[in-house]
Amino acid sequence: MELKYQRIAADLRERIAGGEFAAGRHLPSEAELGGAYAASRMTVRKALEALRDEGLVGSRQGFGWFVAAPPLRQSLARLGTIEAQLADSGRRSERRVLDFAFVAAPARAAAVLGEGRVLAVRRVNVVDGVAWARVTVWCPEELAAHLSLADVERATFHELLAVELAGATQTISAGAVDAADAEVLGVPVGSPALVCERVTRSVDGDPVLVAEHVFPGHLTEFVVELTSVDSSVAPSGLRLVR
């Protein structure tokens, strides 16, 4: 006779296969699933563990359960956009602009771009139907005055600015998702995230863009190629945070 946890696992398996829960999507909590299936949390957990053994779901401390999906690997070896890396990986993506406004530069943008007005664009990148990153970009008003909401919805700043770009400095740190990003990304408040700040420069060496990216920790990973075989040589760009 089929046990209750097996029936729950079978139903969840069918719902995942049917696309109700997309790859990478955060699943309802054990308590919510227990209520939906009129089962104890222990029974629900046993069902989820059975699906994890099959490779269908995964879990992380502080995050909960999610539909298993291979994380998108982002290379740190070259200057590129999220859209370009997603296209290279064959993933279907779209950009949804949440805010578009010319504002006084907030503190971090002002420290890099100078005091003054900037175009601030906040968006969410959606991959295969799942919110994958919240991105906010600040650009000096003098470089972005000609841009419209329609422009930033259809193309990246790299494509839109009449400035030749030479490189960027990207800082990656561990973080926790706040309430605003939790709502946008569909993940629990306080769940693990990778927080990336990128400062992009022109060929003249001037900073022209400051961007902040917040990635749910289970959806992406960063890759850097290390070419030195001498262990006494520290990899370029890596530093210890004390």
Q: How many helices (H) and strands (E) does the chain have?
A: 9, 10
- Helix axis angle for 30-37 and 4-17, nearest 10°, is 110
What CATH number does domain 4-67 carry, 3.40.50.2300, 3.40.1190.20, 3.10.110.10, 1.10.10.10?
A: 1.10.10.10
- In the chain (242 residues long), the average pLDDT of successive 10-residue segments reads 86 91 87 93 93 90 82 70 69 87 96 94 89 94 96 92 90 93 91 92 95 89 72 46 44
The verdict on domain 72-223 having CATH code 3.40.1410.10 is yes
Q: For residue 154, which phi and psi values (nearest 5 degrees)?
A: -100, -20
Q: What is the pLDDT of residue 22?
A: 82
- In the chain, CATH 3.40.1410.10 sits at 72-223
The rounded distance, in Å, linking the Cα atoms of 229 and 33 is 50
Provide the 10 A C-beta neighbour count for residue 203: 10
- In the chain, CATH 1.10.10.10 sits at 4-67
Q: Is the CB of residue 210 less than 8 Å from the CB of residue 138? A: yes
Residue environment code for 77-105, b if the CB has 16+ CB neighbours within 10 A, otherwise e: eeeeebbebbeeeeeebebeeeebeeeeb
pTM higher than 0.85 for the full model?
A: no
